[in-house]
Structures are given as structure tokens and as C-alpha cells.
């Protein structure tokens, strides 16, 4: 039996619905139990809230083809009754399985941070003017070049030494 209720309260009282020889009083305050076949027919009504219950899962297996077609159209489902049942009522994990999952440590994933690689190309030039005179003199000395002159001379000498 599905649970059905109105989305909005009716001032005039409950909505009386007569289907298959039974009368169902629908309100916004209380859910009304309605058989699966009838509840499926209510799915297109925007003024109603239709919720399927666990009992509907078993009842679905005996549903007629018309009811199954309505469910396929309303929920965009495909397949036979078992496929529809699996889509509408996904299996819940048992308490024992949840307990095992809760105490089982999850494997830690190693985070690998890749350093950006800087490839020096022959076309790339170094801006030696950003270096201090002391740094330029040290670089020139390492290359066996003269360290005499002003900063502009040292920069020119380093640029020419490349």
C-alpha cells in the first residue's frame, strides 16, 4: 500500500477518491494507504504526493502490464518487472554490513605532488641585470672571465659568455 496525501490543504475538506469499489479520503495532514495499482495511476497528478512503501516492492511483482507501463513512463524506467523493482527499491545495506564497513580501515591514498619541471632551452636567455654586482662577479669568476667594470659591463660579459 502506497502512502498518498494532498500537497496543499483543502478548506472544503478531504478529497474523496473512489477507485475499484473503495473510497479514499485524501488530506494534506495525513497519509492515506492506497493499493499500488491505484497509486500508480495518481502519479501524474501534481496536487498529490505519492510515496511507495516496502509492501509495494512485493506487490510490484504481481502488477499488471498497464501498471508497469505507467511506472516506466513516469520514472523513465526500462526493462522487466525485476528491473523496475530494482530501480524503485534499491537494496539497502544490512546493519551487519554497515558495522563491518565502519570498522574496516579505508586504504590511504598516497598523494603525489609533481614538481613542475623547468626545461632550459637554448633560446631562453637569463636576465643578468636582475643579479647584484657581487653575484655577477662570482658567476664571472666561476667562468674564468674578468670581474672588472661597472654592472652594465658585467651583465654584458655574462650575456656574451652564454
> What is the average pLDDT value for the chain, to the nearest integer?
83
So where are the chain's domains? Answer: 2-92, 128-161
> Across residues 134-144, what is the average pLDDT?
90
User: What does the pLDDT read at residue 150?
Assistant: 93
Q: Give the tens place of pLDDT for each residue, 42-80.
A: 888 888 899 888 888 888 888 899 888 988 888 888 889
Alpha carbons 42 and 44: distance in angstroms, whole number: 6
Residue 118 has pLDDT above 60, yes or no: no
Alpha carbons 37 and 51: distance in angstroms, whole number: 13
Q: How many CB atoms lie within 10 A of CB 26?
A: 20
Residue 117 has pLDDT above 80, yes or no: no
Q: Give the tens place of pLDDT for each residue, 29-46.
A: 999 999 888 888 888 888
Q: How many CB atoms lie within 10 A of CB 68?
A: 18
Query: Does an H or E element contain 50, and which?
Result: strand 48-51
User: What does the pLDDT read at residue 43?
Assistant: 84
- Per DSSP, 155 falls in state H
Q: Who wins on pLDDT, 161 or 147?
A: 147
User: What does the pLDDT read at residue 153?
Assistant: 93
Say if residue 117 is exposed, middle or buried (CB neighbours under 10 Å; 0-12, 13-18, 19+): exposed
Model pTM?
A: 0.51
> Can you read off the three cell numbers belonging to residue 150?
661597472
Alpha carbons 137 and 63: distance in angstroms, whole number: 92
Amino acid at each position: 500500500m502506497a502512502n498518498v496525501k494532498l500537497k496543499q490543504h483543502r478548506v472544503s475538506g478531504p478529497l474523496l477518491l473512489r477507485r475499484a469499489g473503495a473510497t479514499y479520503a485524501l488530506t494534506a495532514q495525513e497519509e492515506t494507504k492506497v493499493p499500488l495499482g491505484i497509486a500508480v495511476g495518481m502519479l501524474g497528478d501534481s496536487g498529490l504526493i505519492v510515496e511507495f512503501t516496502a509492501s509495494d516492492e512485493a506487490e510490484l511483482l504481481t502488477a499488471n502490464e498497464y501498471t508497469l507501463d505507467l511506472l516506466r513512463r513516469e520514472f523513465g524506467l526500462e526493462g522487466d518487472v525485476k528491473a523496475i523493482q530494482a530501480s524503485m527499491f534499491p537494496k539497502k545495506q544490512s546493519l551487519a554490513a554497515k558495522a563491518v564497513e565502519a570498522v574496516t580501515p579505508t586504504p590511504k591514498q598516497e598523494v603525489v605532488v609533481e614538481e613542475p619541471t623547468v626545461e632550459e632551452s637554448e633560446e631562453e636567455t637569463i636576465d643578468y641585470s636582475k643579479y647584484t654586482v657581487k653575484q655577477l662577479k662570482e658567476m664571472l669568476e666561476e667562468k674564468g672571465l674578468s670581474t672588472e667594470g661597472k654592472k652594465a659591463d658585467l651583465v654584458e660579459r655574462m650575456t656574451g659568455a652564454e
